[in-house]
Chain A
Amino acid sequence: GEDVEQSLFLSVREGDSSVINCTYTDSSSTYLYWYKQEPGAGLQLLTYIFSNMDMKQDQRLTVLLNKKDKHLSLRIADTQTGDSAIYFCARGVSGGYNKLIFGAGTRLAVHP
């Protein structure tokens, strides 16, 4: 299977919470990242979590890490139309000079 897997599509109502999930296979990854890509643009780093952490919160964003299940999630509270984008999960390769392995991305659609 793929190294980093994500569901392809998520649709939520404006104001609701969004939860985007990611699973990975290599438990040696030290850091895990969430990037956002808007149409026609490059990737923008949203947040990251160190592998010895279970949770990280940054304003509307909450990252949860379950190391046992190799599962990472990104929760966006009070989702807005401006949050519509593709969200990529990525893992850092140990000793890999900042090399990142990306998932295929989850397209988040926010509707009124």
Chain B
Amino acid sequence: EAGVAQSPRYKIIEKRQSVAFWCNPISGHATLYWYQQILGQGPKLLIQFQNNGVVDDSQLPKDRFSAERLKGVDSTLKIQPAKLEDSAVYLCASSLRQGAYNSPLHFGNGTRLTVT
């Protein structure tokens, strides 16, 4: 099966600019996650979708970050305006369903964002 696809792989922007990341989950996976991984830290959940509805966005900085999952498939994560501390790898993951141990998360390779 094809894995989780993310683009772009790398992005360099100046602070206060905007940026968008795209994710295509594994076909049939109902749950989609966006994680932020700052260098030297573990991934931190930003937002979780079940189909096209948000089930957890408690750690999403909503003043500058937004995400959507149109038609319950692809998803985009946007940052506007970017700050230096947003430099990180943004990982998208999907799972067949939520809340089950035997529905593991499958991660994409991530987008590495550098804000200068």
Contacts and interface: CB of A to CB of B under 8 A. Distances in A.
Contact of B101 (A30, A42, A44): A30
B109 A97 contact: no
Contact of B42 (A4, A42, A96): A4
Interface of B: 4, 31, 40-45, 48, 50, 55-56, 91, 93, 95, 97-101, 103-110
Interface residues of A, number: 24
Given A42-B109, A104-B42, 12 more contacts: A30-B101, A42-B91, A42-B107, A92-B101, A97-B50, A97-B56, A98-B31, A98-B97, A98-B98, A98-B99, A104-B40, A105-B41
A43 interface: yes
Given A42-B4, A42-B108, A42-B109, A97 B42 contact: no
B95 A98 contact: yes
Given A97-B50, A97-B98, A98-B99, A45 B105 contact: yes
Given A4-B42, A97-B56, A40 B101 contact: no
Interface of A: 4, 30-31, 40-45, 48, 50, 88, 90, 92, 95-100, 102-105
Contacts of A40: 109
Contacts of A97: 31, 48, 50, 55-56, 98-99
Contact of B105 (A4, A95, A100, A103): A100
Q: Which of B91, B100, B104 has the most CB of A within 10 A?
A: B104
A46 to B, nearest CB: 10
Nearest to A44: B107
Nearest to A102: B42
A42 B40 contact: no
